[in-house]
């Protein structure tokens, strides 16, 4: 699994937190701050914005599709220990 990420992006932070909460390993690929310099992201997703998550042959191009996908596919794995805790 690969996450195209900009460290300070609040949407990327939400995705990283979900991946970490689910105990999933992933390759974090930092992208340039300038959208026009994100050619690799564009080639993969057809857009310059992040986050972009690649899971096998699947590509997700925003947190509104990434977060539900992760929860649905992996939420039952590695036992959601953090759920319901303060």
Q: Measured in Å, how far apart are the chain's first and last C-alpha atoms? A: 28
**Average pLDDT of the chain?**
90
| Position 19 in a domain | yes
| Position 29 in a domain | yes
pLDDT above 70: residue 21: yes
| Position 85 in a domain | no
| Position 81 in a domain | no
Residue 47's domain comprises 2-74
Give the pLDDT confidence score for residue 80 in this predicted structure.
47
> In this structure, what CATH number is given to the domain that contains residue 42?
3.40.30.10
Give the pLDDT confidence score for residue 76 in this predicted structure.
77
Question: What is the residue whose two structure tokens read 């105990």?
Answer: 23
Give the pLDDT confidence score for residue 1 in this predicted structure.
97
* pLDDT, average across residues 23-27: 97
Question: What is the residue whose two structure tokens read 């990434």?
Answer: 66
User: Based on the structure, what is the number of domains in the chain?
Assistant: 1
23 or 80, higher pLDDT: 23
């Amino acid at each position: 699994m690969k996450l195209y990420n900009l460290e300070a992006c609040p949407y990327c932070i939400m995705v990283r937190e979900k991946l970490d909460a689910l105990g999933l390993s992933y390759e974090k690929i930092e992208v340039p701050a300038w959208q026009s310099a994100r050619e690799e992201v564009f080639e993969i997703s057809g857009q310059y914005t992040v986050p972009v998550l690649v899971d096998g042959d699947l590509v997700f191009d925003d947190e509104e599709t990434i977060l539900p996908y992760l929860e649905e596919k992996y939420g039952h794995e590695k036992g959601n220990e953090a759920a319901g805790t303060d």
